[in-house]
Amino acid sequence: MSHRFSVEITKQLPEFTLDVAWSAGDGVAVLFGPSGAGKTLTLQCLAGLIRPDAGRIVVDDRVLFDSAAGVDLPPQQRRVGYVFQGYALFPHLTVGQNVAFGLRDRPRAERLSRAAEVMERLGLGGLTHRRTGELSGGQRQRVALGRALAIDPALLLLDEPLSALDAPLRRSLRDELRTILSGWGTAAVLVTHDFTEAYQIADRIVIYESGRVIQSAPRAELLWQPASEAVARIMGLRNVLHGTVVKAMPDRIQISWRGLMLEAVNSPTRSYMPPPESPIAFFIRPEYVRLIRKDRGAPDAAHHMNLMRGRIVGESDFGMVWSLRLRLDAPGAPAQGDFDLEVEVPRLVYEILEIERDRHWEFSIHRGSIHVLPT
Amino acid sequence: MSADALVALGLSIRVAFFATLLNALLGIPLAYILARRAFRGRALVDLLVTLPLVLPPTVTGYYLIVLLGRRGWLGAPVYAWTGWSVAFTWYAAVIAATVMALPLLVRTARAAIESVDRELEKAAYTLGRSEWRTALEVTLPLAKNGIIAGLVLAFARALGEFGATLMLAGNIPGKTATVPLAIYTAVQTGEMGEAVVLVLTLTILSCIVLMVAGRLGARAA
């Protein structure tokens, strides 16, 4: 069965206003953004635990909330599963009783078989009679999932389901969670403030900032085409820079930046045509800046577009990768404090080229690696 | 122990038992509502319930007479219709003990209920439970130790009630003279042997009750 749901709500709190509208279909929609952006508040509105001031929430053609029509289903009638951040397992009940908690209205035999089936699928089979306090973090998460999934929810909500776990476990459980969610076929909304986690689990990512949605897109689109500088910053993209438009064409765009003329690819599907002289934001991924080897002859313009020269003024060792802070040989203030560009090179390259000793380099950036951010 | 002392002890335990029962019936819902519901007049309800804790018991007893006495706001119409008044019956002793013990139960139970994670209740709502069923299946079971500790304290308080009982129920031997009142009478009439027996009995009983409450409190925390 194919799922479709839409959220359109406003909620005024003393120091905060939530005003969001987005929709999603099958798979996992991840609400991503900084803490306090309204992600959890949205989940609580979806579950009926908080009443929005106005708006409409529709899940698979079922209206859960519609302020204009006076519809506001209580949480008990929404059939929306909720996995809380701390899992909220009932400590006075066993694992089996927790999983079966939402099945009270069903006949006893059916209740037991459904709970057993859910626990079997989640690998909780042997834990039926355990108290929740005796479980590991990963098991607690699966019990919370099982309890929410047992009621066969129309929509499953997960509030930072991995944040209560240690980092190594968290990484391995991301894949597990994604497998479970896709295996179950339930439409899900997951909240996180970790972009890697968001990207790994999501089909669609909805970006929240200060109570608003600033982009909602399939994850791949988001990765390569953030809709604005605000989105780029929230995603934690580095080298978000500001220049001036020289000339915009449907297929490429020329930008003046730090006395250089940069050429960037314009989006073929979403051409951005700002007038000359207007300010423009763009970003360059540090791992896509190419260091030009000095032992391979002089660089030629055909293979090395967007050529620039600079000095390394700072560096950080991330183990397998070195992050270099490059200051261009150009007059004027550097773009990012005391440097212009952050560049990442693999450790091997760092060692072979003896970057530790040799600090002056030429760099080049392919025009496809300069991403224009519409304003 | 004299026959009179045994009668006083039996009466005390009966009064304390029914006062504790009334406390459970009134106090647990009240504690839940104060802990979980925001409503107008909550501060006033809280104040009224707590007041007997700080007022002299005689003052509380006086208000009870004003309310329930033969010429009281509630007592007068009841007397007019039935010719019966609760004043100076052992029921009056139960009422006085209930009112005096209520703040102890409500405050203890309320704190225990407030310490239950609200997310557990929200989880129960999303799993189809009404607020009423959630209170019965989640909140109160998890606040159980605190509530029981509150009931034990209420029992102890009811057992030792003197001032308000004297005001509303009087000091009628065999009828409303509970152990504390019997001790007072014994001392007044110079029967020190009787007084000592009753004093020791009440002390030991209260110690046992407090030890039980302490155990439960420690387990609740």
Judgement on whether residues A274 and A340 belong to the same structural domain of the protein: yes
Output the pLDDT for position A245.
Answer: 94
- The verdict on A243 and A194 lying in the same domain is no
Are residues A248 and A199 part of one domain? Answer: no
CATH code at B58? Answer: 1.10.3720.10
Q: Please tell me the distance in Å from B36's CA to the nearest CA on chain A.
A: 14
Instruction: Please say which residue of A188, A211, A230 terminates a domain.
Output: A230
Residue B126 is predicted with a pLDDT of: 96
* Nearest CB to B126 within list A80, A86, A90: A80
Model confidence at A1, in pLDDT bands (50, 70, 90)? low
As given in the structure block, the two tokens for residue A139 are 């098991």
CB contact under 8 A, A88 and B126: no
Up-side HSE of residue B105: CA atoms within 13 Å toward CB?
30
Please say which residue of A230, A256, A290 terminates a domain.
A230
Test A101 with B142 for CB contact under 8 angstroms. no
**Which among A49, A147, A148 is the nearest to B125, CB-wise?**
A49
Residue (of A61, A50, A57) closest to A71 by Cα position: A57
B70 touches A: beta carbon within 8 Å: no
Inter-chain contact A88–B119, Cβ cutoff 8 Å? yes
Structural domain range at position B27? 3-220
Q: What is the count of structural domains for chain A?
A: 2
Q: Is residue A168 pLDDT above 90, yes or no?
A: no
Q: Read off the pLDDT of each residue in A246-263 and give the average, rounded to a whole number.
A: 91
**Are A101 and B127 an interchain contact pair (Cβ–Cβ within 8 Å)?**
yes
A97 confidence band (pLDDT: 50, 70, 90): very high
Residues of chain B found within 8 Å of residue A145, distances taken between Cβ atoms: none
Say if the Cβ atoms of A90 and B123 lie within 8 Å: yes
Let me know whether A344 and A269 are in one domain.
yes
Tell which of A59, A72, A82, A103 to mutate to test the B interface (max B CBs under 10 Å): A82
Least Cα separation, residue A145 to chain B (angstroms): 12
Question: What integer pLDDT is reported at residue B33 of this predicted model?
Answer: 96
- Determine the pLDDT at residue B217: 65
Confidence of residue B4 (pLDDT cuts 50, 70, 90): confident
Q: Contacts of residue A102 in chain B, CB cutoff 8 Å?
A: 126-128
A166: confidence class by pLDDT, cuts 50, 70, 90: confident
| Dihedral (Cα; B178, B179, B185, B191), 10-degree rounding | 150
Helix, coil or strand: residue B131: helix
Question: Quick check: B138 and A104 CB within 8 A?
Answer: no
* Residues B80, B41: Cα–Cα separation, whole Å: 32
Query: What value does the mean pLDDT take over residues B6-17?
Result: 93
| Per-residue model confidence as pLDDT tens digits over B131-167 | 999 999 999 999 998 999 899 999 999 999 999 999 9
Question: Does the distance separating the beta carbons of B128 and A104 come in below 8 Å?
Answer: yes
Per the CB < 8 Å rule, is A76 touching B128? yes
Domain of residue A353, residue span = 238-375
Q: Tell me the nearest-neighbour CA distance from A48 into chain B, angstroms.
A: 8
Interface test mutation site (partner A, options B122, B126, B129, B138, max chain A beta carbons within 10 A): B126
Mean pLDDT for the stretch of residues B111-136: 96
A286 with A192, same domain? no
Share of chain B above pLDDT 90, in %: 80
- According to the model, what pLDDT value does residue A312 have? 95
Helix axes B144-159, B90-114, angle to 10 degrees: 150
**Contact between B122 and A80 using a beta-carbon 8 Å cutoff:** no
Whether residue B221 has pLDDT greater than 60: no
CB contact under 8 A, A84 and B123: yes
Residue that finishes a domain, picked among A230, A260, A286? A230
**In chain A, which residues have their Cβ closer than 8 Å to the Cβ of B129?**
76, 101, 104
CA distance A101 to chain B (A): 7
For A287, A299, B15, B170, B209, the CA distances from A370, given in Å and listed in that order, are: 12, 20, 85, 93, 77
Distance from CA of A105 to the nearest CA of B (A): 9
In tens, the pLDDT along A311-322 reads: 999 999 999 999
pLDDT in tens, A265-292: 887 667 788 899 999 999 999 999 998 8
**Sequence letter at residue A331:** P
pLDDT, residue A301, reads 65
Q: Give the model's confidence band at A304: pLDDT under 50 very low, under 70 low, under 90 confident, else very high.
A: confident
What is each CA distance from A252 to A246, A342, A366, B111, in whole angstroms?
11, 23, 12, 66
**Shared domain check, A147 and A276:** no
Residue B220 has pLDDT above 60, yes or no: no
Over residues A291-298, mean pLDDT: 81
Q: B-chain residues within 8 Å CB-CB of A73?
A: none
CATH number at residue A124: 3.40.50.300
- pLDDT at position A223: 85
Residues of chain A in contact with residue B126, where contact means CB-CB under 8 angstroms, are 47-49, 75-76, 78, 80-82, 102, 148
Is the pLDDT score of A302 beyond 80?
no
A300 pLDDT higher than 60: yes
- Is B128 close to A102, i.e. CB distance below 8 A? yes
Nearest to B119 among A75, A84, A92 (CB): A84
Do residue A24 and residue A121 come from a single domain? yes
Q: Which residue has the tokens 């991995």?
A: A162
Candidates A89, A90, A104, A111, partner chain B, best to mutate (most B CBs within 10 A) = A90
The complex scores an ipTM of 0.83
- Give the mean pLDDT of chain A: 91
Higher per-residue pLDDT: A272 or B52: B52
Sheet holding A155-159, edge to edge: A80-83, A155-159, A188-192, A28-32, A204-209, A212-218
Question: Could you give the CA distance from residue A1 to residue A119 in angstroms, rounded to a whole number?
Answer: 23
pLDDT per residue as tens digits for the range A70-87: 999 999 999 999 999 999
List the structure tokens of A293. 């080897």
Half-sphere exposure (Cβ direction) of A207: Cα atoms closer than 13 Å: 22
Which residue from A75, A90, A105 is facing B138, i.e. has the nearest CB? A90
Contact residues, B window 142-201, toward A, CB-based 8 Å cutoff: 142
- How many other C-beta atoms lie within 10 A of the C-beta of residue B136? 12
Number of domains observed in the structure of chain B? 1
Per-residue model confidence as pLDDT tens digits over A212-247: 999 999 998 888 888 889 999 999 899 999 999 999
Residues of A in contact with B117 (CB under 8 A): 86, 88
Which residue of chain B has the CA closest to A91?
B142
Is residue A26 predicted with pLDDT exceeding 90?
no
Q: Are residues A267 and A315 in the same domain?
A: yes
Question: How does the average pLDDT of chain B come out, rounded?
Answer: 92
Answer yes or no: do A64 and A83 share one domain.
yes
CB contact under 8 A, B142 and A92: yes
Q: Which B residues 109-148 touch A at CB under 8 Å? A: 117, 119-120, 122-130, 138, 141-142
Q: Which residues of B touch A74 (CB under 8 A)?
A: 125
Q: Which residues in chain B have Cβ-Cβ distances shorter than 8 Å to A88? A: 117, 119-120, 122-123
Give the integer Cα–Cα distance in Å for A45 and A67: 12
Which chain A residue has the Cα nearest residue B131? A76
How high is the pLDDT of residue A255? 94
